[in-house]
Amino acid sequence: MSNNHLRITNYGLLLAILTAFIFALSPQALALAQGPTPTDDEVNRIAKQLYCPVCESTPLDVCPTEACRQWRELIRTMLAEGKSEAEIKQYFVEHYGARVLAEPPNRLVTYLVPAVVILLGAFMLFRGFQMWLKPSITEADVKKSAKREAKPVQDPYIAKLEEELKNRK
Amino acid sequence: MTDTSIPAARRGVPIWVQIIIWVFLVGLLGIVAVGLKRAQEGTVQPGAAIKDFTFELFEGYKYNGQSQIKLSDLRGKVVVINFWASWCKPCEQEAADLQAAWKEYEPTGKVVFIGADYVDTPKEADVYLKKFGITFPNGEDRDVARGRPLSQYFRIKGVPETYFIDRDGVLQYVQVGPFTSIEQIRVQVDKLLK
């Protein structure tokens, strides 16, 4: 009787270990081991920084297509696996190109080109305004002015005086 | 006696600035023109020689024992490239026909089918391939040699789209949208096998 009881207890223990082992390998247990399922807010925090490459100009967090729903689920899975925001974004760029990013990649040329274009435009405007305010003097204007100053207008009083002096001689 | 000194003539915009401005404007117009031309072009047109590309296959897929396919290695064979996605409902419509056609042509060794998975997620793509029992070489839409999507080179407008390349590597037919029967696939492949 006591031997039978012992055998039953051993079987029970074996069964418990076996059940625990099977449960440990189940997808649910694996999911639990990875941590709690990320919420929609956590997923959308990353999704809104990405754009749907299928329907243009639609952020991933609000895109209603099946493709975007799948990508949001992919973000959720990656978050559950412990991937960081940067790693997730990098994955999307590697697979679908930089066009999926809401903001362009942080490269020097991304900021340098617009800055150079803006400076060049500002310089052109500045020179344009300068020229409108002070119109340039052409060579013809200079010659005309020199000619005018070389032949000053005769004062009638001086002319009359010179005439009288001439007559006295 | 008279003061004949004259003010120095003011100069206009320096010539180098003018050159920069013109080069910039012409460059800008060039970029806009190229963009407009490409937008109007649509997909790669029949008659175009297809540039060489290297295509990486999904895990579990092999072609001639290799996990990569190079287009130039397929000279002498008819190549059928199908762009698809797991989220694309019309793709499901033609998936079974494509697989059936592959089963017909595979033993001849004269035709190669390639499935390019366009902007998709790995898990769903795997489910899709298993669901339709697709065995012909499949992989992510990417030319690994150039590091760019293959769809960008073909300028696809959506999925599904299928490109038929002849034995000399020249594109001969483009199917935009799904095939509605296996016969449609046979007609194009047989034409290229003649």
- What's the complex ipTM? 0.71
- Give the closest of A54, A77, A124 to B21, CB-based: A124
Contact B105, B111 (CB under 8 A): yes
CA distance A95 to chain B (A): 8
Q: What is the DSSP letter of B148?
A: B
Cα A148 to Cα A143, A144, B61, B138, B168: the distances in Å are 9, 6, 94, 89, 83
Q: Give the pLDDT band (50/70/90) at residue A32.
A: very low
Residue B162's closest CA among B67, B95, B72? B95
Chain A residues near residue B123 by CB distance under 8 angstroms:
74, 77
A48 pLDDT exceeds 60?
yes
CA distance A17 to chain B (A): 32
Query: In the predicted model, what is the mean pLDDT of residues B107-111?
Result: 97
- Percent of all residues in chain B with a pLDDT value above 90, rounded to a whole number: 82
Considering the entire predicted model, what is its pTM? 0.69
Q: Are residues B123 and A74, on separate chains, in Cβ contact within 8 Å?
A: yes
CA distance B41 to chain A (A): 19
Query: In the predicted model, what is the mean pLDDT of residues B112-134?
Result: 96
pLDDT value of position A16: 62
Query: How far is A48 from A69, CA to CA, in rounded Å?
Result: 13
Enter the tokens of residue A148. Answer: 């005018």
Residue of chain A with shortest Cα separation from B151? A96
Question: What residues contact residue A142 under an 8 Å CB cut-off, 6+ apart?
Answer: B6, B7, B9
Query: How far is B187 from B175, CA to CA, in rounded Å?
Result: 12
Chain A residues near residue B87 by CB distance under 8 angstroms:
65-67, 69-70
Enter the tokens of residue A20. Answer: 């625990």
How many A/B residue pairs have CB atoms within 8 Å? 56
Enter the tokens of residue A24. Answer: 């440990």
Query: In the predicted model, what is the mean pLDDT of residues B75-101?
Result: 97
Q: Give the pLDDT band (50/70/90) at residue B38.
A: confident
Chain A residues near residue B18 by CB distance under 8 angstroms:
none
Q: In the predicted model, what is the mean pLDDT of chain B? A: 92
Q: A25-29, A46-50, B95-99: lowest mean pLDDT where? A: A25-29
CA A55 to chain CA centroid, Å, is 19
